[in-house]
């Protein structure tokens, strides 16, 4: 989804949404993952963004289930925020993060799964955040 300025309709960024809602990942028990067809769609859509577009990298991706790179980051580099519960992630690494690095159209990936945790940091030059609960009636302690 493009983000445009109100005065010139210039595209200055994009919001990407990826579904990760099942309870298995390509036959593997555990949290759902970004699948090959989603990665191919992302590659095709990224190729439509000109390489010389100064806003090419201004993409933010949202999904429910964290990438395995979220887990690598929180276990290996300093992060900001709080890790209150065990960090869950996708059951399999399908290469989506590597594709983000190659396409250079996403600079931030935001996820939410654990309703008591909220941290962010940088891993491989990409911002990764794990969002706290929102909404009415979600589980976990009240903050």
pLDDT of res. 104:
96
Least confident of 26-30, 46-50, 71-75: 26-30
pLDDT digits (tens, 9 = 90+) for 72-126: 998 899 999 887 777 778 888 999 999 999 999 999 999 987 667 788 999 999 9
pLDDT of res. 89:
82
Evaluate if residue 133 carries a pLDDT over 80.
no
pLDDT of res. 69:
95
Would you list the DSSP string of the chain? -EEE-TTT--EEEEEEE----SSEETTEESB----HHHHHHHHHHHHTS-TT-TTTT-EEEEESSPPHHHHHHHHHS--EEE--SPPP-BSS--SHHHHHHHH---SEEEE---TT-EEEEEETTEEEEEPPP-SSS-SS---
pLDDT of res. 42:
97
pLDDT of res. 130:
86
Please report which confidence band the pLDDT of residue 38 belongs to, taking 50, 70 and 90 as the band edges: very high
pTM: 0.86
């Amino acid at each position: 989804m493009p983000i445009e300025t109100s005065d010139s309709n210039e595209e200055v960024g994009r919001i990407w949404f990826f579904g990760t809602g099942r309870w298995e990942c390509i036959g593997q028990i555990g949290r759902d993952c970004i699948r090959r067809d989603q990665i191919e769609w992302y590659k095709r859509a990224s190729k439509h963004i000109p390489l010389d577009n100064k806003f090419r990298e201004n993409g933010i991706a949202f999904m429910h289930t964290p990438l395995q790179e979220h887990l690598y980051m929180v276990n290996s580099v300093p992060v900001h925020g709080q890790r209150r519960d065990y960090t869950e992630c996708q059951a399999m690494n399908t290469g989506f993060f590597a594709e983000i690095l190659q396409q250079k159209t996403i600079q931030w990936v935001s996820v939410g799964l654990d309703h008591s945790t909220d941290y962010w940091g940088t891993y491989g030059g990409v911002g990764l955040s794990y969002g706290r609960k929102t909404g009415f009636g979600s589980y976990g302690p009240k903050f």
